[in-house]
Structure 1
């Protein structure tokens, strides 16, 4: 019974809203990180991305895990709509760039359409006032590969071109997160 209770509480913690996270009107912390798109690593700069328009900065626990797989797939499937609204999207997790190269190229998830950035120390997540948890020894992803890093809470920030947070989205399912993000950037047009 205790295992079930802890499992339910752990799952709930992954989707609860980020109570301490930055909110609308706050200035988004600028960051640079190694990122991957279609399996190719590159240097991502939020400053550079904001020069092109709004940026959806979404934090997720780990590549190749159930909710994160769904969320990445939904962002990839809706990428043309985000671009039509003038926005770009960057996912951020504590995954290594090697894991993200695989994840960004996987046709079932990022499908070569969604860029994902590596925040191995959790410094970027913490700058957005997100909780970062230690990983669990022996935890594996949906491929059966060990997850050897911590986890940032699932929270999305809609950042306007001038660097202000327009909206913070958390506490919803991965699919709802993507839909609310799209609606938010469409309102910015």
Structure 2
């Protein structure tokens, strides 16, 4: 019986059916700063988290794999909400284990030219945010809201992509009411 299940493990992991890591970064923790390659609208660019934070809060969301159904849905939801996040002075950034060539295409087709999607093929960023799946090299589905002082404001972890935008938006709105600029 185990022999029959073993070939299914990689597929199960992609579908989120394996045990996943739980976000270790909690509100108040320092957010690991990073610089990496990213894509917006099919164009490659450097992404420097410290620079994005100078403009305001950042929603940093991790997703398992570009062009899978849940990750595509989540990218669409964040793309639809990007203008509202921008009105709140907030930058949206997606991160996955995919390489930059994949992110160039994903940023255009699924992120709809609305926000940066970072490549992390070595999983360095994923690991620094404790967002790695327990079994596979992919990231778990975790969203963080990071404030301009490099602190984690909010963490949300769920394999279901449906509530990541709603929950991070509420965290940003709540923060904005107490941090009028």
TM-score (norm. length: structure 1): 0.82
Contact 1:122 1:132 in 2 (8 A): no
What's 2:105 paired with?
A: 102
The equivalent of 2:167 in structure 1 is 180
Superposition deviation, residue 84 in structure 1? 1.0
CA shift in 2, pair 1:159/1:38, >3 Å:
same
Match of 1:54 in 2: 57
Q: Which moved more, 1:63-72 or 1:122-131?
A: 122-131
Partner residue, 1:164: 151
Alignment TM-score, normalising by the size of structure 2: 0.86
How many correspondences in the alignment? Answer: 170
Q: How far off its partner does 1:8 sit? A: 7.0
Matches of 1:156 and 1:63 in 2, distance apart?
16
Question: Structure 1 residues 77 and 20 mapped into 2: Cα distance closer, same or farther (>3 Å)?
Answer: closer
Q: C-alpha displacement at 1:13, in angstroms? A: 3.9
| CA deviation after TM superposition for structure 1 residue 12, in Å | 3.8
Runs of 4+ in 1 over 6 A off after TM superposition: 5-9
1:45 matched to 2:32: no
1:26 equivalent to 2:22? Answer no
* TM-aligned CA distance change 1:8 to 1:132, over 3 Å: closer
1:1-189 to 2 correspondence within 5 Å?
11-13=16-18, 18-106=21-109, 109-132=110-133, 150-171=137-158, 173-189=160-176
1:181/1:28 Cα in 2 relative to 1: closer, same or farther (>3 Å)? same
- Pairwise CA RMSD: 2.2
Any unmatched runs of 5+ in structure 2? Answer: 177-181
Shift of 1:171: 1.9
Cα 1:182–1:13 shift into 2, 3 Å: farther
CA distance in 1, matches of 2:116, 2:23: 26
CA distance in 1 between counterparts of 2:53 and 2:25 reads 18
Distance 2:175 2:140 in 1: 25
Assess, with a 3 A threshold, how the Cα gap between structure 1 residues 134 and 98 changes in structure 2: closer, same or farther.
farther
